[in-house]
Amino acid sequence: MGLFVCLPLVLPLTALPVARLAEQHLHPRSATLLLTVVGTLLALCSTLCLALLMVVGTAQLPGNPLPDGWSDPEVRNAVPYEVKAGIVAIGVLTAVLGACGRTVYRHVRLRIRAGRALSTAPSVTTGDVAVLPDPEPYAYALPGNPGRVVISTAMTECLDARERRALIAHERAHLAARHHRYLLAVQLAARANPFLLPLRTAVAFSTERWADEEAARAVGDRRVVAVAVGKAALFSHGAPDASVGFAAFAAADPASTASAPAPDSASASTAGPVPRRVAALLAPVPQARLWPPSSAHAALAPLVAAAGTTSSALSSLNATVSLVQILHAATPL
């Protein structure tokens, strides 16, 4: 097994450059798909390695239900750091499973509560759009069967007719592409390994950018969508938490969007999410292709992602095969 079992625990550090490169140089749809797949695989490999270490650590504990041969001195010699690393892995894996369980529970509870509130509150429903009489401005996509676009009357009053159309198109794009699934997947990945937190943030941004591009295509005017994003961010306060699977139209700190209409490209990369979204909407339409890349920077994102994920998967496979061989030799049939 050797140190290969520990590599998948630290290889998610490659998520930071991948997240930055994908966010800045890939089409938001490609960035969302790439980062979600990479984050999920890295989290699974990391969790698998914790499970392998836990098996080894559990075998050393008195009264464990595992075969006695698994705690023989030969097995201990074959598996380095078996006692300390294994016992620590038990606690860490328990914390990971608890955190993931809480995240799923919050996601399900929020969807149920939002659905019940929508069914009981007085609202004007037109197709898949529900307008709630509420003095707080907000808009969000509520997944379900069927999904709904929920908008408050205060938000509709903040926007003109074309901007409201852009808002509805944006939220419909979230529902059509099932962005809540990507958000939940990367949230669980970040719970499994904190090194994957940059991917969670990047996917939250790229799903919003993806919906922005779909809204711009539906409306036919990128500037209208840019103005709608900036205005909605200035007024919105009560949108649901995107980290548990909901996508709000412009969830950001209003103070960071006071000059939202047109930040220049030089400062957009260091600005908040809403100014960066507005800057992207005022720029030309991004290329949708993933390969061949449009630039060397765009090529680095999938290459770094592939290298980190492949190394993590191979390390996990090597550790798994080695541990199975060792434990099988300790308990011959």
For the chain (333 residues), the mean pLDDT of every run of 10, in chain order, is: 69 83 87 92 88 73 59 58 71 92 92 81 78 87 86 90 93 93 94 92 94 93 92 71 51 36 41 86 81 66 79 77 67 54
Buried/exposed 39-64: b ≥16 CB within 10 Å, e otherwise: bbbbbbbbbbbbebbbbbbbbbeeee
Domain of 136 in residue numbering reads as 2-330
The answer to whether the beta carbons of residues 280 and 8 sit under 8 Å apart is: no
Residue with tokens 């149920």: 112
Q: Count CB-CB contacts under 10 A for residue 259.
A: 11
Is there a contact between 283 and 262 (Cβ–Cβ < 8 Å)?
no
Contact present, 86 and 60 (Cβ < 8 Å)? yes
CA distances 206 to 128, 183, 231, 259, 321, Å, are: 24, 10, 20, 21, 37
Question: What is the pLDDT, as a whole number, of residue 182?
Answer: 95
Ramachandran angles phi, psi of 175, nearest 5°: -70, -45
Report pLDDT for 201: 92
Residue 248 has a pLDDT of 58
| pLDDT at residue number 180 | 92
Q: What is the pLDDT of residue 321?
A: 75
Identify the three-state secondary structure at position 59.
helix
Count up the domains in the chain and report the number.
1
For residue 233, the tally of other CB atoms under 10 A from its CB is 25
Report how far residue 11's alpha carbon sits from residue 7's, in angstroms, rounded to the nearest whole number: 6
Q: What are phi and psi of 289, to 5 degrees?
A: -75, 145
CA distances from 188 to 29, 42, 171 (A): 20, 11, 23
- For residue 285, the model assigns a pLDDT of 87
User: Phi then psi for 325, rounded to 5 degrees?
Assistant: -65, -40
In the prediction, which pLDDT does 253 show? 39
CB 202 within 8 A of CB 31: yes
Rg (CA), the chain: 24
Cβ atoms of 5 and 272 within 8 Å: the answer is no
pLDDT, position 260: 34
What pLDDT does 237 receive? 57
* CA–CA gap between residue 57 and residue 23 (Å, rounded): 40
